[in-house]
């Protein structure tokens, strides 16, 4: 399998970050730098079909998960002891769905799991969002992709979003292939892994924004009850693009989670 494009910075335990449907590897730019300085190897990919990564065919969560698995296997040293043959996995939106698919197939590769603005399917806004965005995409992409991207991001962020973060989110969104984005919207709309949540046995953190309509609190609370060793946090004043809307607050949550001894997460 041809590996997807990725960027890496730092040395230490690997933190692999999987961006959402409107992102690319730059969607985690603040976190890559912060994690590298903290003693981690920060890795952010271009999901297949994004940036320089070749699309998977047929496009769907299964193929995306297998691509992420191949990347993890390539990143991990073959001679490392068993506890080190795994990564901390962070997924935003669609990337969080890829992370759920991945851990169901290869739980041995995941040391901990962070789902950001992502759900297991039910009680979410993905289906209605896909319908609305597809209509906007058909009407506006060809003539004004940057304006279209800005309108989508503006509708997804919260009132306290960092202006620079919103600009970067819009820039990432404008780079997405419209064909890939349609596939991504469809994949999000039909995703349902709710029944498999009790099979997740690694420390898990769920983060959503106060104004994130795609990953509402009700869905996050329900997921947290079904996943073992799980906590959830709602960040005030922000929406769906948490790592860019409020990078300092998001980084603090992420670092606290990664640095906490695993023993504190046992029941």
Average pLDDT of the residues in 135-142: 67
By DSSP bridging, strand 87-92 and strand 14-18 are parallel
Average pLDDT of the residues in 181-205: 94
Q: Which two tokens stand for residue 232?
A: 């959830």
Residue 150 maps to a domain: yes
* Average predicted confidence (pLDDT) for the chain: 92
Residue 199 maps to a domain: yes
* Listed residue (42, 12, 20, 39) closest to 29, CA to CA: 42
> Domain with 41 in it: what CATH number?
3.40.50.1820
d(CA 37, CA 32): 9
Residue 177 maps to a domain: yes
Average pLDDT of the residues in 74-78: 89
Range of the domain at 73: 6-265
Number of folded domains that form the chain: 1
> What is the reported pLDDT for 139?
64
Residue 220 maps to a domain: yes
> What is the reported pLDDT for 265?
52
Residue 1 maps to a domain: no
> With contact defined as beta carbons under 8 Å apart, do 147 and 140 qualify?
yes
Average pLDDT of the residues in 5-17: 97
Average pLDDT of the residues in 197-221: 96
Q: Which residue has the higher pLDDT, 137 or 48?
A: 48
Q: CA–CA distance from 231 to each of 195, 198, 263 (Å)?
A: 18, 14, 14
> What is the reported pLDDT for 68?
98
> What is the reported pLDDT for 141?
60
> With contact defined as beta carbons under 8 Å apart, do 237 and 158 qualify?
yes
> What is the reported pLDDT for 82?
67
Would you place residue 126 in the very low, low, confident or very high pLDDT band (cuts 50, 70, 90)?
confident
- Burial letters 16-27, b for 16+ CB under 10 A, else e: bbbbbbbbbbbb
Q: Is the pLDDT of residue 137 over 80?
A: no
- The gap from C-alpha 124 to its chain's centroid, in whole angstroms, comes to 16
Average pLDDT of the residues in 19-37: 97
Q: Report if pTM > 0.85.
A: yes
Residue 154 maps to a domain: yes
> With contact defined as beta carbons under 8 Å apart, do 6 and 87 qualify?
no
d(CA 47, CA 65): 10
User: Picking from 75-79, 132-136, 230-234, which range would have the lowest pLDDT averaged per residue?
Assistant: 132-136
d(CA 118, CA 124): 9
> What is the reported pLDDT for 267?
44
Write out pLDDT tens, residues 227-267. 999 999 999 999 999 999 999 999 999 999 999 876 555 44
Would you place residue 187 in the very low, low, confident or very high pLDDT band (cuts 50, 70, 90)?
very high
Residue 127 maps to a domain: yes
Residue 232 maps to a domain: yes
d(CA 41, CA 9): 6
Q: Put the strands of the sheet holding 87-92 in their side by side order.
A: 6-9, 41-45, 14-18, 87-92, 110-116, 204-209, 230-235
């Amino acid at each position: 399998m041809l590996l997807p494009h990725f960027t890496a910075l730092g040395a230490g335990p690997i933190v692999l970050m999987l961006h959402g449907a409107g992102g690319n590897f730059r969607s985690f730019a603040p976190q890559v730098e912060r994690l590298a300085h903290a003693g981690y190897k920060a890795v952010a990919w271009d999901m297949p079909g994004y940036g320089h990564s070749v699309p998977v065919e047929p496009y769907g969560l299964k193929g995306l998960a297998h691509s992420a698995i191949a990347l993890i296997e390539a990143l991990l040293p073959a001679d490392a002891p068993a506890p080190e043959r795994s990564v901390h996995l962070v997924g935003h939106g669609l990337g969080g769905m890829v992370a759920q698919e991945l851990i169901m197939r290869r739980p041995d590769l995941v040391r901990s799991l962070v789902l950001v603005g992502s759900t297991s399917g039910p009680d979410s806004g993905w289906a209605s969002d896909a319908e609305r965005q597809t209509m906007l995409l058909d009407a506006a992409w060809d003539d004004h992709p940057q304006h279209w991207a800005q309108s989508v991001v503006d509708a997804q962020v919260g009132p306290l979003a960092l202006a620079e973060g919103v600009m970067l989110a819009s820039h990432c969104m404008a780079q997405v292939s419209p064909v890939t984005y349609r596939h991504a919207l469809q994949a999000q709309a039909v995703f349902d892994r709710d029944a498999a949540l009790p099979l997740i046995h690694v420390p898990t953190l769920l983060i959503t924004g106060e104004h994130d309509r795609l990953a509402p609190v009700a869905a996050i609370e329900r997921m947290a009850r079904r996943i073992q060793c799980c906590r959830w946090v709602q960040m005030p004043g922000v929406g769906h693009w948490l790592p860019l809307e409020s990078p300092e607050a998001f980084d603090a949550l992420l670092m606290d989670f990664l640095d906490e001894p695993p023993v504190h997460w046992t029941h």
